[in-house]
Amino acid sequence: MNQTSASAAIGPLDIKRVMAALPHRYPMLLVDRVESLDPDKGIVAIKAVTINEPFFQGHFPARPIMPGVLIVEALAQAAGVLAVEAFGLAGSGKLVYFMAIEGAKFHDRRSARELNFSGSAAPPHRPRDLPFGS
């Protein structure tokens, strides 16, 4: 982690700052804002889920539920914001990649409302310079 962000909490971050951290764009951008971010502890991020989301048209029209795979993607994007901010990579053109998730369980259905996801995370690993991707 860089010296300036080692223990400093950051936030809130608006959509412009989220978009600077992530390459995703609508309809795959699943983080609308970040309430708080501490590189050593974790992140609290928000996705405003409305009935107008395209996935609700088919999952399931009579009882719209946000697909679990999209909830996992939203969590991965929040982790991406955490890593980018922790290492000062915003605007650098470098990407972070979601590599694995262990023990994911869903305890509540998510319908049209705000998806508030938070998590504590081990401090992200230092990015490696790989011969591919930048």
What CATH number is given for 3-110 in this structure?
3.10.129.10
* Tens-place pLDDT, residues 76-90: 999 999 999 988 898
Decide: helix, strand or coil at residue 96.
Answer: coil
- The active-site residue, picked from 24, 59, 107, 125, is 59
The reported pLDDT for the residue numbered 6 is 47
Decide: helix, strand or coil at residue 85.
Answer: helix
Q: What is the percent of the chain where pLDDT is above 70? A: 75
DSSP state of 41: T
Distance CA 58, CA 68 (A): 14
| 24 belongs to the catalytic site | no
The pairing of strands 33-38 and 42-48 is: antiparallel
DSSP state of 37: E
* Tens-place pLDDT, residues 35-44: 999 988 888 8
Report field, pTM of the whole predicted structure over 0.85: no
